[in-house]
């Protein structure tokens, strides 16, 4: 064990020695003149002080350390920091290990580092630290630096150093490696002093002052080095152009040129039941309803799940603004049916226009919305750019973005920034998503929570529920909801295993895509199971092993019937489906391991022992069998699940309040007047 510990230390020391020599080499080969640098000793009267810099821009800062000024550097506890620690050791700099956790839950030694920094300053040693903290927002000063300044009474000295030649990495802070034979610029910002009497509101003011001073110092350092700071600036705060570049212009041209094939595309989709032929012209930007008088808020949702999430939002907004009218656009036939059933009297539904510039312009010419609200991950370039051109405030609510999508967008920042920067408001589901959207240019992003947690269960057709109950009366029921291709066979295998101990079991399979109903039924029959299929009007009887519910909008009713529900999209890597409706209707939740699309809800449910993760047919059969045999545990699990989701609630009122600020005043000029 001792040898294992010694090897990493020797490796860190060896690499640290090489890096320290490299820093010296860059310093020796750099070209400096008096007007390119400031002398650190000019600030001797501030010693001891708190020297701060931006993360990713600290490589050459050991060069400005002067003899006689003892300095401790705050360094995080992680593997990469070990190398930096070895570098600083060669410059005679002491370390304070630990850093703030930002939004991370893991303890990174922040409390210890804070106490050590305060002690060092009181003993007459300067403390150097980055102002922004990994896990937080890049180039946003944290409160830690101003809290240390308040407690010790010592000043904060923002500092930056830059070279004309450098490499930058696509990390959260744009980690910069300075290159030799460069022009070198060094600058300090305006000193910030935090009085001991500062309250919480004052701390925020001083935090902003540190941020502004450090930004000014960084800009000046790059100017003195004759360097372009763009590549070293994190994408979340980049000053790069937000005008559409070549790729976006190419997209706009191609979507315009593709219009002649639109009727053929729509007819093909109509044959598969994916379009409404009676309303085809709406997809080409030709509305079929008049614009209401007065102010109009336009909401765009992809399909049923997003529509269910924003209908309560529209209802609450209408309570705050009784004269406000609503336009809801969606892209699927199923969501159009849902809208027809649930929209209020001051709301109209239209199919969203296909994303071609001419269709979008025709749509906007007619509707002239006062506010455009997109949901979750609905990013359509022409809709966004054309709305922005008309100065329509743009908001993205319940925003989410998978890790894979984020990586794809980040590789195309020239496309991402011109789109995401157009949004005045981006309300994300959690802090991680906020950081992703900010990194893509959405400066107005902040976490509001998940609207789906606050969404009441959709109404249930009670007549159908009462018709189904007798057909399944007295039988053990397992629900498999929103299954994707590849999962139905696993569910069928689990059913066969469960039937050995629960002979009266009936498994209800509700596929995510109802058109798969026939294929699922054939697969079940090939395994010797008796099947009833709901889309054909059939009801299960005592001999039915499985009931394929290949219909739309009935999940709530089925959850009400079944005490245990497996939520699909999770045994195959589709990111999972929403578990919230199942919980609200009283079903215990089982899920596969792939639930990243609804991580907040599943994290909370699993942490409260209110959801069970299964990875195979045997595990699904075992978990379902135990719950079906234990009514007491079923009841406890439902209680824990309700408590877990209640802890995530609150997104709806926060979203309503934020959107109200982006609507024109009620007595203001209305576009349709």
Determine the straight-line distance between the first and last CA of the chain, rounded to whole angstroms.
Answer: 79
CB 505 within 8 A of CB 499: yes
Q: Which of 291, 301, 346, 349 is nearest to 324 (CA)?
A: 346
Torsion angle, alpha carbons of 507, 513, 518, 519, to 10:
-90
Q: Which of 527, 531, 528, 472 is nearest to 504 (CA)?
A: 472
The CA distance from 198 to 206, in Å, is 9
Q: Which of 48, 515, 624 is nearest to 273 (CA)?
A: 515
**Secondary structure (H, E, C), 202-223:** HHHHHHHHHHHHHHHHHHHHHH
* C-alpha 364 chain-centroid distance: 28
Contacts of 670 (CB under 8 A, 6+ apart): 293, 294, 295, 370, 664
The CA distance from 464 to 471, in Å, is 11
Tokens 């150093």 correspond to 161
Q: Which helix (H) or strand (E) holds 129?
A: strand 126-130
Contacts of 543 (CB under 8 A, 6+ apart): 530
Tell me the C-alpha to C-alpha distance, in Å, between residue 477 and each of 121, 508, 512, 562: 67, 7, 19, 5
Structure tokens belonging to residue 185? 């610029």
Q: Which helix (H) or strand (E) holds 461?
A: none
- Which residues form the catalytic set? 306
Q: Which helix (H) or strand (E) holds 276?
A: none
Tokens 């309560």 correspond to 312
Q: Which helix (H) or strand (E) holds 611?
A: strand 611-613
H runs (alpha helix) in 368-487: 381-389, 403-410, 413-420, 431-439, 451-454, 462-472
Q: Which of 54, 91, 44 is nearest to 72 (CA)?
A: 91
CB 476 within 8 A of CB 504: yes
* C-alpha 563 chain-centroid distance: 32
Question: How many other C-beta atoms are found inside a 10 Å radius of the C-beta of residue 257?
Answer: 10
* C-alpha 412 chain-centroid distance: 18
The CA distance from 415 to 419, in Å, is 7
């Amino acid at each position: 064990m001792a040898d294992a510990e010694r090897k990493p230390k020797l490796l860190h020391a060896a690499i640290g020695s090489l890096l320290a020599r490299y820093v010296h080499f860059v310093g020796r080969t750099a070209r400096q003149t008096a007007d390119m640098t400031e002398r650190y000793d000019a600030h001797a009267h501030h010693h001891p002080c708190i020297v701060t810099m931006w993360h990713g821009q600290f490589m050459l800062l050991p060069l400005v350390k002067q003899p006689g000024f003892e300095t401790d550097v705050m360094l995080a506890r992680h593997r990469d920091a070990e190398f930096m620690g070895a570098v600083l050791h060669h410059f005679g700099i002491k370390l304070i290990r630990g850093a703030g956790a930002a939004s991370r839950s893991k303890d990174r030694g922040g409390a210890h580092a804070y106490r050590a920094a305060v002690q060092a300053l009181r003993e007459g040693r300067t403390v150097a630290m980055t102002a922004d903290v990994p896990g937080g927002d890049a180039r946003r000063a944290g409160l830690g630096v101003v809290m240390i300044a308040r407690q010790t009474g010592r000043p904060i000295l923002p500092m930056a150093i830059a070279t004309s030649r450098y490499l930058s990495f696509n990390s959260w802070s744009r980690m910069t490696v300075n290159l030799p034979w460069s022009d070198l610029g060094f600058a300090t910002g305006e000193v910030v002093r935090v009085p001991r009497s500062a309250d919480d509101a004052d701390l925020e003011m001083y935090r902003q002052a540190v941020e502004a001073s450090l930004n000014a110092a960084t800009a000046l350092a790059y100017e003195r080095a004759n360097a372009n700071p763009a590549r070293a600036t994190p994408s979340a705060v980049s000053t790069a152009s937000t005008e559409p570049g070549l790729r976006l212009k190419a997209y706009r041209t191609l979507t315009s040129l593709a219009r002649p094939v639109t009727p053929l595309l729509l007819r093909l989709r109509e044959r598969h039941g994916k379009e409404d032929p009676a309303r085809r012209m709406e997809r080409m930007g030709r509305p079929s309803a008049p614009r209401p008088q007065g102010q109009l808020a336009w909401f765009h949702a992809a399909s049923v799940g997003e529509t269910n999430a924003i209908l309560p939002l529209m209802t609450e907004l209408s309570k705050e603004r009784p004269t406000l009218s609503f336009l809801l656009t969606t892209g699927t036939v199923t969501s159009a049916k849902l809208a027809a059933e649930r929209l209020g009297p001051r709301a109209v539904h239209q199919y969203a226009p296909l994303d071609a510039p001419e269709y979008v312009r025709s749509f906007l010419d007619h509707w002239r919305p006062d506010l455009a609200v997109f949901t979750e991950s609905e990013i359509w370039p022409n809709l966004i750019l054309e709305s922005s051109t008309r100065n329509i405030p743009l908001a993205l609510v319940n925003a989410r973005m998978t890790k894979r999508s984020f990586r794809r967008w980040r590789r195309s920042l020239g496309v991402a920034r011109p789109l995401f920067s157009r949004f005045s408001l981006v309300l994300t589901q959690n802090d991680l998503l906020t950081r992703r959207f900010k990194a893509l240019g959405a400066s107005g992003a902040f976490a509001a929570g998940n609207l789906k947690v606050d969404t009441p269960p959709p109404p249930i057709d009670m007549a159908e529920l009462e018709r189904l109950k007798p057909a399944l009366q007295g039988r053990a029921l397992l629900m498999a909801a929103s299954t994707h291709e590849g999962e139905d066979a696993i569910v069928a295998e689990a059913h066969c295993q469960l039937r050995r101990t629960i002979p009266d079991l009936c498994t209800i399979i509700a596929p995510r895509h109802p058109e798969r109903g026939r294929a699922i039924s054939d697969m079940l029959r090939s395994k010797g199971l008796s099947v009833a299929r709901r889309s054909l009007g059939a009801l299960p009887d005592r001999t039915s092993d499985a009931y394929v519910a290949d219909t739309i909008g009935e999940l709530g009713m089925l959850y009400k019937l079944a005490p245990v529900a497996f939520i699909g999209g999770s045994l195959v890597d589709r990111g999972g489906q929403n578990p919230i409706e199942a919980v609200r209707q009283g079903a215990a939740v089982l899920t596969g391991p792939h639930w990243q699309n609804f991580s907040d809800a599943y994290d909370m449910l699993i942490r409260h022992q209110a959801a069970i993760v299964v990875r195979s047919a045997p595990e699904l059969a075992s978990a379902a069998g135990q719950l079906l045999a234990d009514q007491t545990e079923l009841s406890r699990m439902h209680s824990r699940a309700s408590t877990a989701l209640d802890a995530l609630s609150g997104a709806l009122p926060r979203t309503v309040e934020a959107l109200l600020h982006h609507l024109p005043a009620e007595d203001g000029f209305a576009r349709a007047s």
